[in-house]
Amino acid sequence: MKAYKKNLILFFAIIVIALLFWSSVSLQNYFYDVVLIMENYAENHELMAFFVFIFFSVFSAMFFMFSSIWLVPAAIFIWGEFLTANFLFVSWIIGAALSYSIARYAGYLVFDKIISSGKISRYRDFFRDEEGFWMIFLLRLVLPSEIPGYAMGVIGYNFGKYLLATALAELPYAFLTVFLIDSIINQEPTTLIILAGIWLIATSILTKILYSKFKKEI
């Protein structure tokens, strides 16, 4: 229920942000001024602009306190929706791989002091059964992007399967993120409501399924 409330709050936050942007000419002018500066920089430093976007997107996939979402509107103007979504997707996969690797080779020393070795072993056994792959897929869809990477690294889950589950979950998220932001920029309320509504319903259902599966483990 708490997760549902958080999703609902985020849904209304998206709507409020869109309404504020659409109703404020000065905010729109400021936004387009900033985007123009970024576009000019990207035209003169194409490779650097690309690496800056990738770097911050990777960083945001590894640390929850940082988000690169504010770079996406400018990226849409510079590269278009399709390329921006693909750049996000690749960046998130790289971030997921790095967070897994950090936890796999260094995180156990930290988590061993927080979580008992017995519980880590139970999680390891839980994810190695037939449903393990789909549980990780649900984790990637429901939880903040960096948490599953560190968790799977600690328990030593198969890296290839983890990346596959991550890719399947992150690909729709990358395109949803880009098209949500694009609908705000282009002032398309119907598209925004539909996309945000699909996200709210899907994540609420998936969260309920995930929590029911983990009830005995958490």
Residue 156 forms part of a structural domain: yes
Name the one residue in this structure whose structure tokens are 């690797």.
Answer: 101
Q: Predicted confidence band at 175 (pLDDT cuts at 50, 70, 90)? A: very high
Domain tally for the chain?
1
The mean per-residue pLDDT over the stretch 156-177 comes to: 89
Residue 218 forms part of a structural domain: no
The mean per-residue pLDDT over the stretch 165-191 comes to: 92
Residue 152 forms part of a structural domain: yes
Residue 118 belongs to what domain range? 2-213
The mean per-residue pLDDT over the stretch 165-183 comes to: 91
Question: 29-64 b/e with 16+ CB inside 10 Å = b?
Answer: eeeeeebeebeeebeeeeeebbebbbebbbebbbee
Check whether 86 has a pLDDT greater than 90: yes
Q: Hey, is 29 helix, strand or coil?
A: helix
Closest-CA residue to 177 (of 65, 61, 96, 20):
61
Check whether 9 has a pLDDT greater than 90: no
**CA dist., res. 30 & res. 24, Å (int):** 10
Residue 104 forms part of a structural domain: yes
Predicted model pTM: 0.83
106-120 pLDDT, tens digit per residue, is 766 656 555 555 566
User: For position 8, what pLDDT does the model report?
Assistant: 76
Check whether 83 has a pLDDT greater than 90: yes
